[in-house]
Structure 1
Amino acid sequence: MQVFKKKYWQLLMSPFSILYKFVMQFRNHLYDIEYKPVFRFDTKIISVGNLSMGGTGKTPFVEYVIRFLIERGYSNKVATLSRGYGRRSKGFRLANDHDLPQTIGDEPFQIYQKFKDHVTVSVGEDRVLAIPSIIYEHPENEVIVLDDAYQHRSVEPNFSVLLTDYNSIFYKDYVLPSGTLRESRMGAERADVVMVTKCPPDLGQDEMQIIRDNISIYTDKSVFFTTIKYKEAVAAMNRRQARKRIILVTGIAYAQKFKEYLSQERFEIMKHFDFADHHVFNSKEINAIERLAEQENADIITTEKDWVRLMSMPELGESFQNKLFYIPIMVQFLEDEESFHRILEDSIIRVE
């Protein structure tokens, strides 16, 4: 029944998708012929983005790139630039110790908390204006990593990474509003590499080849496969281990895989408070979560992105914090990680 409803919606919305597709193709054509201005910078630019709406794992991959650059000697020579989705501020802003998720967005705040001693973190809706501001304020930076910038054609990156979720690969999707694509599948040809994210850890070679063959219809660039590596639960306020009896709290695009991981780790989920991506928590919700945790003698487990939002709330009491844990995640390549490193180095580090 659900499949029928989806097919019916796609059919109903197809005229609007065709119109939107041609509008985006015309827009891309204007950038291709440089009728619309394209800006190039001496500072190396890495773009991480996707064709679709929703979560493909951009922030974990940006963090992966940051770690790679730091290991290659680029500590204090790297900046990140994001729009800062959900923030209450406007315009260009450099992150500092006084910022909160409300002022720069939850994902930039998460990156700042992890890498502030090594990386300049910034937000700004207009990349063309923000990049010169970063260069002016921090001329020591040699690389700028753009988060969610695949459709920002006004800036030409030196290296562009296209992410696509294994569970909804772009070649199976349709342009808005029939599907979730922001532009047609042909947009994949602008990428320097394609990264299939959130793959099952045991993805076989035969299926990898099928995916590569399908992607090759749209681009001849290298295709890599990654999965999510979950780490041990981290306590917000104490050093004890999390109880196995938990209340799950998420405000991310797709929480099912996270929920499945916790079940595999034998956590007993008494209730799942499942909010929309980038959800802004309020006092009523916090009180309800804490009451239930008390009643069930359970701890509260959340994602790292939700944790930074929760911990920034002044009304979050000590009792809640003592029950709160988060699960860090990292990107893990299934194979050919060194090949990706070489391609990235050739495009960014070794190019003078």
Structure 2
Amino acid sequence: MKILLYLFYPLSLFYQFLFWWQQRETSSFQLPNVLVISVGNLTVGGTGKTPFVQYLVRFFRKVYPGYAVTILSRGYKAEKSKDGAILADGLSPNLFGDEPSQHKEMFPDVQVIIGRNRKKSFLSYNQIHSKKHIVILDDGFQHKALCRDFDFVLLDANSPFGNGFTIPLGFLREPIRNLKRANAILFTKINSKNKNGLEKYYSNLKKIDPFLPIFSSQFESSVVEVLIHNELAQKTFLPKPNSKYFLVTGVGNPKHVFETAKTTLLSESIRTKFFPDHFEFNEAALSSLSEEILMDEILVTTEKDWIKMRANVGFLRGLERKKTTVLLLLIQVSVLEDEKLKSMLTGLVSTYETKNDLAVNT
């Protein structure tokens, strides 16, 4: 470990300098006539941003039905990311990205815009021309190019700061002290094993900002069966004793998905195959995967993965020939201080309406 420290610490410091310089040289643009809420993280890897974005969308659609909601995302690894695009549906993850496609399929009436240059993409493709408009900036904590009204930063309760070092020595995108830019912290993936160890992290965060709101959350999981002949249709699935499962996923934290699958399916008999985050699931990979699935196994995957797998008709036909049951592992965020968080969100909208002379008309 000491050898690695000597080798990579200078590189880590150099990375921090480059990050600082890039932030210093980047000016921020205020999107016109919108309330911008950023959902981001401090570390590389999955902290649960996607389900929290969906939590926010559900809240705003329910409590503020007069408001339009837009999800603005980079569209990581998407073919359209460079030029930007607006999604018509969630059926082309290779063009628009897996997570944006998942958002669009879940919320068809929500505007989803992608683009590496998110300012340009929003100004080019936004079709909502009302001040009653909330933009959720997905993975936005490091995206200084856009001003935001509020910054949520998500921390994985299992390892909030990794080893405490920035890339390449650790998993931090930027130093912990930079959380002073955050408006609220949300610990994710709280469970009986990690909740008692969070107090020390709370203490560290309060040293950075004694008034920083801190929330905690856990995942609620369920499974549904996909009807392969109509891959957008689903039905309830009841786990059966002695079933054999094959979990396939390409997400930022596959071990957490595995633990969630074991709990949800009430089974230890789960074979696994993990791919890198945002894995493409191209023709060759799916052909190989199809051969690996045993005749008596049930295929288990996430919504994010399935949205790419199902685009391959040959793969779907292979599953039908084998009579393979396909299960989707569904994840939703449950915030432990739910009422407090919703009250804060209500306050954000109230402040925005006052600033934009909308309060009387709401």
Q: What's the counterpart of residue 85 of structure 2?
A: 93
Q: What's the counterpart of residue 341 of structure 2?
A: 340
**Deviation by residue 1:115-140 (Cα, 9 ceiling, x = unmatched):** 013x11111111221232344x2214
Q: What's the counterpart of residue 115 of structure 1?
A: 107
Q: TM-score, normalised by structure 1?
A: 0.87
Letter of the 1:260 counterpart: E
Contact 2:223–2:327 (8 Å) recurs in 1:
no
Q: What's the counterpart of residue 286 of structure 2?
A: 286
Q: Partner of 1:263: helix, strand, or coil?
A: helix
Q: What's the counterpart of residue 25 of structure 1?
A: 20
1:273 maps to 2:263: no
Measure the CA separation in 2 of the matches of 1:343 and 1:171.
29
Contact 2:16–2:166 (8 Å) recurs in 1:
yes
**Deviation by residue 1:44-79 (Cα, 9 ceiling, x = unmatched):** 101111122111111111111100111112366101
Aligned residues: CA RMSD: 2.4
**Deviation by residue 1:176-198 (Cα, 9 ceiling, x = unmatched):** 11112222212211111011111
Q: Which piece of structure 1 moves more, 210-219 or 240-249? A: 240-249
Q: TM-score, normalised by structure 2?
A: 0.85
Q: What's the counterpart of residue 98 of structure 2?
A: 106
Measure the CA separation in 1 of the matches of 2:314 and 2:239.
23
Q: What's the counterpart of residue 15 of structure 1?
A: 10
Letter of the 1:332 counterpart: S
Deviation at 1:207, TM superposition (A): 3.6
Q: What's the counterpart of residue 60 of structure 1?
A: 51
Measure the CA separation in 1 of the matches of 2:285 and 2:33.
48
Q: Share of identical aligned residues, percent?
A: 26
CA distance 1:299–1:176, shift in 2 (3 Å): same
Q: How does 1:93-242 map to 2 (within 5 A)?
A: 93-97=85-89, 99-117=91-109, 119-135=110-126, 137-140=127-130, 142-170=133-161, 172-201=163-192, 204=195, 207-220=197-210, 221-237=212-228, 239=235, 241=238
CA distance 1:261–1:128, shift in 2 (3 Å): closer
CA distance 1:235–1:171, shift in 2 (3 Å): closer
- List alignment gaps of at least 5 residues for structure 2: 229-233, 354-362
Measure the CA separation in 1 of the matches of 2:90 and 2:186.
35
- List alignment gaps of at least 5 residues for structure 1: none
CA distance 1:171–1:282, shift in 2 (3 Å): closer
Letter of the 2:260 counterpart: Y
Deviation at 1:288, TM superposition (A): 3.6
Deviation at 1:314, TM superposition (A): 2.6
Measure the CA separation in 1 of the matches of 2:248 and 2:12.
35
Measure the CA separation in 2 of the matches of 1:147 and 1:270.
32
Measure the CA separation in 1 of the matches of 2:39 and 2:19.
19
Measure the CA separation in 1 of the matches of 2:209 and 2:163.
15
Contact 2:67–2:133 (8 Å) recurs in 1:
no
